[in-house]
Structure 1
Amino acid sequence: MTPFEESIRQRMQDLGIGSWSKLQQQAGMGRRSLDNVRQGHLQSLKLSQLHSLAAALGWSLEQLLFRFHLIHPEDPSLAHEDQQFHGLTQKSSPAAHDYLQQQTFQQLQTLLTQYPTARHMADANPQLPARNLTALFRSLDQLLHTWGIEAIGSPWEQVAFDPALHHPDTTDLGLGETVYIRFVGYRKGTTILSPAKVSRTLPKGYP
């Protein structure tokens, strides 16, 4: 039995949850997700699953993340559980906030990577049906702005290749070589969340 499993089992006993299948039912989780929880692999769960699991166990999301060592109180000398949770709530909210942002970004990454290029193509060619769909994604721009996440480049922009910012479609690109951005990347401050995908040539159908 893993330490994570023992911690959860003790909490289940305190709450009168008699079996793992009962917890699975209350949290609305699949068997594989529950197995990941028992092994301490919360990183593999979706944000909605983390919220549901925390609620089933009567914990806040921060308490759940703390239990699984995904966030830590700034003061390691806190001796009692109540003090730890109080310190966690007061001091470690930024850590929990950053963790949840990362989890959400990973879930949205494919959409966020492809959407700017689709929008640019729709603007360049109004006959494309996709033009009617771009308004549905405007909330993503606001979400990224709120999180302080910035795009790396813009679709089809001509830039100098920088391996720190760009992911090439070939292995022979040299530093500073002229390339075109096929799909934008994203960064938060100095942290590169996903590099922009670049190529020497423009995509077919470029006006």
Structure 2
Amino acid sequence: MISSNSPNRLRQLMQQVGLTTYKALSEATGVSEKQIRKLRRGQIAQMRVETLEKLGRVLQVSVGELVGIGEQEVVSGRDEVGELRREYDRLQAQLLQQRQELWQEFQQSSVQVLESLLLQLPTAAYAAQQNPQAPAVKLLPLLRPIEALLQHWGIEAIAAVGSEVPYDPQQHQLMEGTAAVGDRVRVRYTGYRQGDKLLYRAKVSPVVS
């Protein structure tokens, strides 16, 4: 006898008598596939006793056991739906993670391509602001779309070119001289970070008092 805890007991009983499909079961018993679907859905109350007896004779089980099979089919179907839903959720989460990783890789490769521009242009723009008559002033409009792109990607400058800040070797790179942690330094080339990740350290020089 098939255990009441066995998954898909109807299919197991079919296999025991050499039937591999529900269509084959229908042909062997003379019971329509529609009626067999009712059994699989646990809709026993909608089936005639004569129909259950036909199925029972071929499957070699009692009508009472067929009722149990119908109930187990419903439980098994629910389990399969639940498993499919969990697998779907897992794949969705995996796909989302892959998209995020690809997006981050694209941003990083783009930043590497634009590295020279990102590091040099703010310094040129600062120089242009100090001397509005200099040809470099024409570079200022070029900064706006780049700044908008960096903001969209969550990339921010560590400090503005020309500003004086306390020296932090984790964020700053000395271009000349020496400085202790906390000493005043002037930013000559800006650096960048993205969230908690440091992309480029700002290049600084000691402030001579």
TM-score interval, normalised by the smaller of the two chains: 0.5 to 0.7
Partner of 1:177: 183
How far is the alpha carbon of 1:87 from its aligned partner? 7.1
Contact 2:185 2:205 in 1 (8 A): yes
Equivalences for residues 52-63 of structure 1 within 5 A: none
The TM-score with structure 2 as length reference comes to: 0.53
Would you say 1:194 and 2:200 are equivalent positions? yes
Distance 1:90 1:102 in 2: 18
Deviations 1:68-98 (A, max 9, x none): xxxxxxxxxxxxxxxxx98754431011111
Q: Select the structure that is richer in helix.
A: 2
Partner of 1:78: none
* Aligned residues with identical type, % of pairs: 36
Distance 1:193 1:149 in 2: 9
Partner of 1:77: none
Deviations 1:166-193 (A, max 9, x none): 0112463211111100000000111110
> Which structure is larger by alpha-carbon Rg, 1 or 2?
2
Equivalences for residues 28-177 of structure 1 within 5 A: 89-170=95-176, 172-177=178-183
Deviations 1:1-52 (A, max 9, x none): xxxxxxxxxxxxxxxxxxxxxxxxxxxxxxxxxxxxxxxxxxxxxxxxxxxx
Structure 1 residues 200 and 172, CA, compared in 2 at 3 Å: closer, same or farther?
A: closer
Once superposed, what is the RMSD of the aligned Cα atoms? 2.1
Runs of 4+ in 1 over 3 A off after TM superposition: 85-91
How far is the alpha carbon of 1:120 from its aligned partner? 1.3
Matched positions, count = 119
